[in-house]
Chains A and B, each alone.
Chain A
Amino acid sequence: MSAAAPSPERLRIVGLRSALAGPFDLTIAAGECIAITGPSGSGKSLFLRMIADLDPSQGDVYLDEIERRSLAGPAWRRRVVYNAAEPGWWSETVADHFQGATLAFARTMAPRLGLAATHLDGPVMRLSTGERQRLALIRALAVGSPMLLLDEPTGALDEQSTQLVEAVLREVIANGTTIAMVTHSPEQAVRLGHRHLRMAARHLVPA
């Protein structure tokens, strides 16, 4: 909460809705972190997935004044990266999920999140849920997108690992990345979020 008042607008959501949730209206500034809490099934993940354009939705979303329809789906998602609560893996070893420079990034980031280098070279199958969650976060950070949508980034982590993740996220925010984060912990929402919103019955309200 030590960050200065965030300045220019990064993400603007106007009338974003689907048959399942919304409509949502929200503006998030560059370098701002908003935290969303709410009961399970209230539509928090749906909201993030709609912003990332992984689920069909109506309404407008702008990133740095660029309307998402003016970009192809993959180009939009490279700029607005969504990290699922239960991340998927598409190859046998962890390192296969990183290419070129992103693998070097992963190697420097892993120890900061309490992971050993061997975690990167081993098979995904042998990792614990918490290890997978941290590696998936590294994978999402490695894209270097201006906007991150994090779905319960510390949901499977113990207190110590949670602190490590929060320290990294604070740094990312301080460097100007914007984050919209779903969390089950109101304390975390206060610790990381500049603003705290609540999802209730598939609508966003101030917490």
Chain B
Amino acid sequence: MTPILLTPVDLAIASVLIVLDGVLSLLLRLGLHRQLAVAALRMVVQLVLIGFILRFVFALASPLATLAVVLVMVAIAGREVAARPEQRLGRFGNYAVGATAVAFATFLTAILALTTAIRPQPWYDPHYAIPLAGIVLGNVLNGGSIALDSLLGGVVRERAAIEAQLALGASFSQAMRGLIRSSVRRALLPIINQMSAAGVVTLPGIMTGQILAGMDPLEAAKYQILLIFLLSGGSGLAAVAVVYLAAMRLTDDRQRLRIDRLTARTRGSRP
């Protein structure tokens, strides 16, 4: 069950395929060869670098170092969630909402999995904690950013409908109910698609990786099932957290809709 290790020569042979893409770009005048080369180089550097960092952190076996790595990953994911929407909450609201929701959803699902299902010794062993946090983060980022974009965009688009309800005496949470529901719904659709397609349309990444690393396919499938449960939980938690945290920032003690706290991102004018 030992994995087949790759040599630099193996990678060099595979890199011929990237060169092929570059040649195609030149032949068809796609103008992509430069971007392709930069992206490929970036990918190699980033992955080798993260390999060295993880090797170093694994060797340290220090809970604090593990926590630091996870926190950096959470901060980057939170920033991505914040950057996606066209609309910005004042006073760095997008960042506060994104980072809080991402941290909440990731820690909750990752710690649950580490302490109940996977149970490494100790439970915060970086071999397990860091990759698990990483894969959960990817989905949390997805769910959180869709939910935030949908809520902030929806508030601007449906302002008249929300204020009509407020004007008739509805509470802020009543007036926002429809939008909150549709935002969480949209955030959950990708994970539902992923579950429906798993194993039929696509062989999920973790399962593929573990089979390539020599694991029994059924054991790999069990791992994948556990992970997809975690991912769907993480997406749902992140979406709900994002939506409620953002909604709280859009109202005040008089339960008004404070659309003045939103500004559109300034990136050229749109038609």
Binding site for B on A (CB under 8 A): 52-56, 72-79, 81-84, 86-91, 136, 139-140, 143
How long is the Cα–Cα vector from A75 to B255 in the complex, in angstroms? 10
A-B pairs, top 10 by smallest CB distance, nearest first, are: A78-B169, A88-B160, A88-B164, A73-B254, A88-B161, A73-B255, A90-B161, A82-B167, A77-B169, A74-B171
Within 8 A of A (CB), among B153-197: 158-172, 175, 178
Contact of B164 among A55, A56, A74, A84 (CB under 8 A): A84
How long is the Cα–Cα vector from A51 to B20 in the complex, in angstroms? 69
Q: Judge if B55 is at the interface, Cβ distance under 8 Å.
A: no
Q: A56-B256, A143-B169 given; name 9 further pairs at CB < 8 Å.
A: A53-B256, A73-B166, A73-B253, A74-B172, A83-B167, A88-B159, A88-B160, A90-B162, A140-B167
How long is the Cα–Cα vector from A74 to B159 in the complex, in angstroms? 17
| Chain A residues, CB < 8 A from B169 | 74-75, 77-79, 81, 143
Q: Mark B234-271, 1 if CB is under 8 A from A, else 0.
A: 00000000000000000011111110000000000000
Instruction: Please name 30 pairs of A and B residues whose Cβ atoms are closer than 8 Å in the assembled complex, sorted by A.
Output: A53-B256, A54-B166, A56-B256, A72-B255, A73-B166, A73-B253, A73-B256, A74-B169, A74-B171, A74-B255, A76-B254, A77-B167, A82-B167, A83-B167, A84-B160, A84-B167, A86-B160, A87-B160, A87-B164, A88-B158, A88-B159, A88-B160, A88-B163, A88-B164, A89-B164, A90-B158, A136-B164, A139-B168, A143-B168, A143-B169
Binding site for A on B (CB under 8 A): 158-172, 175, 178, 252-258
| Chain B residues, CB < 8 A from A86 | 160
How long is the Cα–Cα vector from A82 to B257 in the complex, in angstroms? 14
How long is the Cα–Cα vector from A53 to B166 in the complex, in angstroms? 10
How long is the Cα–Cα vector from A53 to B251 in the complex, in angstroms? 12
**A78 x B164 contact (CB < 8 A):** no
| Chain A residues, CB < 8 A from B158 | 88, 90
How long is the Cα–Cα vector from A90 to B253 in the complex, in angstroms? 23
- Given the known interface contacts A88-B161, A88-B162, the answer about A81 and B167 at a Cβ–Cβ threshold of 8 Å is yes
| Listed residue (A54, A72, A81) with the most chain B CB atoms within 10 angstroms of its CB | A54
**B168 x A90 contact (CB < 8 A):** no
Query: Which residue of B has the minimal Cβ distance to A53?
Result: B254
How long is the Cα–Cα vector from A76 to B165 in the complex, in angstroms? 13
How long is the Cα–Cα vector from A155 to B158 in the complex, in angstroms? 22
| Chain A residues, CB < 8 A from B175 | 90
How long is the Cα–Cα vector from A79 to B167 in the complex, in angstroms? 10
How long is the Cα–Cα vector from A91 to B182 in the complex, in angstroms? 13
| Chain B residues, CB < 8 A from A79 | 169
How long is the Cα–Cα vector from A84 to B164 in the complex, in angstroms? 8
How long is the Cα–Cα vector from A89 to B172 in the complex, in angstroms? 16
**B256 x A90 contact (CB < 8 A):** no
Query: Which residue of A has the minimal Cβ distance to B174?
Result: A74
**A54 x B167 contact (CB < 8 A):** yes
| Chain A residues, CB < 8 A from B253 | 73
| Chain B residues, CB < 8 A from A72 | 254-255
How long is the Cα–Cα vector from A74 to B171 in the complex, in angstroms? 5
| Chain B residues, CB < 8 A from A52 | 167
| Chain B residues, CB < 8 A from A76 | 254
| Chain B residues, CB < 8 A from A53 | 254, 256
Query: Which residue of A has the minimal Cβ distance to B253?
Result: A73
**B163 x A74 contact (CB < 8 A):** no
| Chain A residues, CB < 8 A from B257 | 54
| Chain A residues, CB < 8 A from B162 | 88, 90
**A74 x B166 contact (CB < 8 A):** yes
CB distance from B38 to the nearest CB of A (A): 48
How long is the Cα–Cα vector from A55 to B162 in the complex, in angstroms? 14
Query: Which residue of B has the minimal Cβ distance to A145?
Result: B169
| Chain B residues, CB < 8 A from A54 | 163, 166-167, 256-257
CB distance from A49 to the nearest CB of B (A): 9
| Chain A residues, CB < 8 A from B255 | 72-74
Contact of A84 among B163, B254, B258 (CB under 8 A): B163
How long is the Cα–Cα vector from A72 to B256 in the complex, in angstroms? 11
| Chain B residues, CB < 8 A from A140 | 167-168
